[in-house]
Amino acid sequence: MIRYRKLTVRGCGQVILRELELALPERGTAVLLGPSGCGKTTLLRSTIREDEDDPDLEVEGTIELNGVDLRAGSVSRVAVRQKIGLIPQRPVAFPGTVLDNVTFALRHTTRLAKSEIERRARLALEEVGLEEGLYARAADCLSGGQLKRLAIARTVALEPDVLMMDEPSSGLDPLAVVRLERLIMRLSEHRLVVVVTHDLHMTRRIADEVHFLWPFQDGCRVVESGPPERVLELPARPETRLFVQAAWNGAAALYELDEELEDCEAEECLPRRLTLVEDETGRPSLGAMTER
């Protein structure tokens, strides 16, 4: 499991995350939700110590994986990145074939035999569902969905304990998203998969737990955590409610809740069940989702 303690991250001259506390389980899918700019990507990047590649990022606090402090001097950056794989929002194809792309990191970070490297690469490609006919094709000829899968295969081939995906469904068509969701669910059977997304439908289908982050004036923090049904249907916090309402009901909800949030004090904002109604059909949208 991953545990963040008093994680403060500064970047571009401001505090992005402030004293963030978060614990993620050993396996399953944890979804990080929150408005753009609330530090979700920064959280993922800090976990694999990207602050060491980017002097703009400054990280304080501790991040533990199964009790080991990932930021300790005795733990190498390479070791962290072999345990935790980060799949970026916009993957870039490496030069060469699809298979080259997957063997690349294995060739340059391990001393495995060539045959073993290829075996693991093929296994990873199979796991993400890229057909064998594509292996010899130039990677920059792949479609957006295939490229996302390739990026996942590149990471899965290293057999990490944790996979982190930054907005995996962005730019994909609905069918590709469903395929991706199935892949995420399969991958999360044996490991922890952390997903950053704005897609609440996807969240509802794949998440075992949801963590909601909110950008406060002095930095971002986790304001609410729980199972997806609870957080998405009965948000305890006004920030979450605003976000969820906006996602289901669109702009109309936003104006209403914006005011509510402005003069909201803790007691006034008690949990209440949202009447999530889709404008056109009149059916509760969450009900519709549960049916799926």
Q: Which residues bind other proteins (CB under 8 A)?
A: 48, 50, 53-56, 77-82, 85-86, 88, 90-92, 94-97, 100, 104-105, 108-109, 151, 154-155, 158
Question: In whole angstroms, how close is the CB of 180 to other proteins at the nearest point?
Answer: 18
Question: In whole angstroms, how close is the CB of 264 to other proteins at the nearest point?
Answer: 39
- Torsion sign, CA atoms 185, 189, 190, 196: positive
Q: Which is nearer to other proteins, 151 or 207 (CB)?
A: 151
Q: Which is nearer to other proteins, 137 or 179 (CB)?
A: 137
Which of 55, 21, 18 lies closest to 38 in space, CA to CA? 18
Question: In whole angstroms, how close is the CB of 53 to other proteins at the nearest point?
Answer: 5
Provide DSSP, the chain.
Answer: -EEEEEEEEEETTEEEEEEEEEEE-SSEEEEEE--TTSSHHHHHHHHTTGGGT-TT-EEEEEEEETTEETTSTTS-HHHHHHHEEEE-SS--PPSSBHHHHHHHHHHHH----HHHHHHHHHHHHHHHT--GGGTTSBGGGS-HHHHHHHHHHHHHTT--SEEEEESTTTT--HHHHHHHHHHHHHHTTTSEEEEE-S-HHHHHHH-SEEEEEEEETTEEEEEEEE-HHHHHHS-SSHHHHHHHHHHHHTHHHHHHHHHHHHT--TTTT-------B-TTT-SBHHHHHHH-
Question: In whole angstroms, how close is the CB of 52 to other proteins at the nearest point?
Answer: 9
Q: Which is nearer to other proteins, 150 or 244 (CB)?
A: 150
Please provide residue 240's backbone torsions phi and psi, each rounded to the nearest 5 degrees.
Answer: -65, -40
Q: Which is nearer to other proteins, 99 or 232 (CB)?
A: 99
Q: Which is nearer to other proteins, 77 or 198 (CB)?
A: 77
Q: Which is nearer to other proteins, 154 or 237 (CB)?
A: 154
Question: In whole angstroms, how close is the CB of 54 to other proteins at the nearest point?
Answer: 7
Q: Which is nearer to other proteins, 158 or 253 (CB)?
A: 158
Question: In whole angstroms, how close is the CB of 32 to other proteins at the nearest point?
Answer: 18
On the CB side of 173, how many CA atoms lie within 13 Å of its CA?
A: 5
Question: In whole angstroms, how close is the CB of 55 to other proteins at the nearest point?
Answer: 5
Question: In whole angstroms, how close is the CB of 91 to other proteins at the nearest point?
Answer: 7
Q: Which is nearer to other proteins, 101 or 285 (CB)?
A: 101
